[in-house]
Structure 1
Amino acid sequence: MNETLTLTRVTAYADVVRERHSVRQYDPNWTISESELKEILAEASLAPSSSNTQSWRFLVFHDKELRKKLHPIANNQQQILDSSAVVAVLGDVEGFRRMGQINDIAVEKGIMPREFADQFTERSIAMYGSLSREKQTHIALVDGGLVSMQLMLAAKSRGYDTVPMGGFNAERLIEEFGIPNNLVPIMLIAVGRAASPGRPTARLPIDEITYWNGQGLNK
């Protein structure tokens, strides 16, 4: 029975990962409830992160009027207006400061001993706090990429479509919406129901992008 359940989950994932495409044309009349968006974001936040700092933050543009303000900042891309919501994924370069809260939750759930949690928190805050702003930003960008991909797969598993957007003015986004300086814009992700299918794309053969045991890297 367990083998059947596992096979079903793997098959479902295989469908989701193959059916996900970047969609730029959305049904402007389709809406997503706040509760659905929360479910998608909650699943996205199960993504891995450096020392489990979970340094991603989500700025959700669910209101249509607010997305009109975002539109010119995002190079006037039509999906900003026609999608059901847009999520700005932000990286918190000071996210490590919440390690105590994260580890307290782990203790409450019985998945981490108190003594270890306190030691882990102290070491983590000291280590991440000693890093340069550049290194802290790099970590936030990597973690932000992980959570963004998981967000898009979570949306697709529910029948919604997405497109990641790097084409936006980060400085204007920060200024217009009062984003504090500890948060770094990573990408925008439109979420909604496709009005037309996303364009299929080709992929390089796996043997051309994979190197086994360090062989062939210099060819």
Structure 2
Amino acid sequence: MSETLLTVIKERRSVRKYDPSFKIEREEILEMLEAATMAPSTSNLQPWEFIVFLNPEERKDLRAIAYNQEQIETATAVIAVLGDKEFYKNIDPVYDSMSAAGYINDASKEVLVGNAKKTYPYAPEEVRKNLATFDAGLTAMQFMLIAKERGYATGPMGGFDKVKFSERFNVSDRYFPIVLITLGKENAPAYQTTRLAIKDKVRFI
């Protein structure tokens, strides 16, 4: 691990106080999200979707859905990370893209596509949701580290009414909300935290 990456990891904090006047361009948010989606995923099927909240009026409603947490309105943006329950619908686009890029040959593609189509469409929905939640979580964490490396603050938020969120923001049945991530410029120091001793959390066998 490089010293730079270790520093980013150690210095990242979940921020709740933001400078409401600070702006980040849409193009840069897209760049960070694109880099975040380089995270690994189940069979590379990328079971995630994002809604980026910039509009103040929309964020008023989002704040109410998120139990009136003020950072929803003071952060530069709020990124909602959604999971894709039907990520098997990405099988052909993903493997067609890999083939076009020259990363797999026709024989390998046929095997990979065949195996995926035999497995994921028939998996129970709960299994698919668990896989999507795990994969989207990897992307969310990667996004927060990328933002920190660029000098921005973030804060993950699991505390919001997910049913009301889906209703208010017209989330299709294919997707389900997992976490909100606030993004912006820190306006007050975040709490310092500690971790339990790693020796108490690891068992070598």
TM-score (norm 1): 0.91
Matched pairs, number:
205
After superposition, what is the alpha-carbon deviation per residue over 1:62-89, rounded to whole angstroms, capped at 9, x for unaligned?
2222211211001110100000000110
Q: Match for residue 13 of structure 2?
A: 21
- 1:179 lines up with 2:168 in the alignment: no
- Give CA-to-partner distance per residue, 1:37-66, whole Å, 9 cap, x none: 001101110011111110011111122222
SS at match of 2:67: coil
Worse overlay, 135-144 or 167-176: 135-144
Quote the offset at 1:133 in angstroms: 0.8
Residue 79 of structure 1 is matched in structure 2 by 71
2:115 matched residue in structure 1: 123
Partner in structure 2 of residue 49 of structure 1:
41
How far the C-alpha of 1:90 sits from its partner, in A, is: 0.4
Q: Deviations over 1:100-127 (max 9, x none)?
A: 1111111111111122113211220220
Contact 1:100 1:118 (8 Å CA) reproduced: no
Gaps of 5+ in 1: 1-8, 214-219
Q: Runs (4+) of structure 1 moved beyond 3 Å?
A: none
- Specify the alignment match of 2:55 in structure 1: 63
Residue of structure 1 equivalent to 2:155:
163
Report whether the alignment pairs 1:30 with 2:22. Answer: yes
Q: Which residue of 2 aligns with 1:188?
A: 180
Task: State TM-score, norm by structure 2.
Answer: 0.97
1:120 is aligned with what amino acid? L
What SS does the corresponding residue of 2:2 show, helix, strand or coil? helix
Other structure's SS at 2:80 match: strand
SS of 2:129's equivalent in the other structure is: helix
Instruction: Judge conservation of contact 1:68–1:81 (CA < 8 Å) in 2.
Output: yes
Contact 1:100 1:121 in 2 (8 A): yes
**Contact map agreement 1:89 1:144 (CA 8 A) in 2:** yes
CA–CA distance in structure 1, aligned partners of residues 88 and 25 of structure 2: 31
The answer to whether the aligner puts 1:134 opposite 2:121 as a matched pair is: no
Tell me, what secondary structure is at the counterpart of 2:98? helix
Determine the structure 2 residue equivalent to 1:4. Answer: none
**Structure 2, unpaired ranges of 5+:** none
Output the amino acid matched with 1:189: I
Among candidates 194, 201, 207, match of residue 199 of structure 2: 207
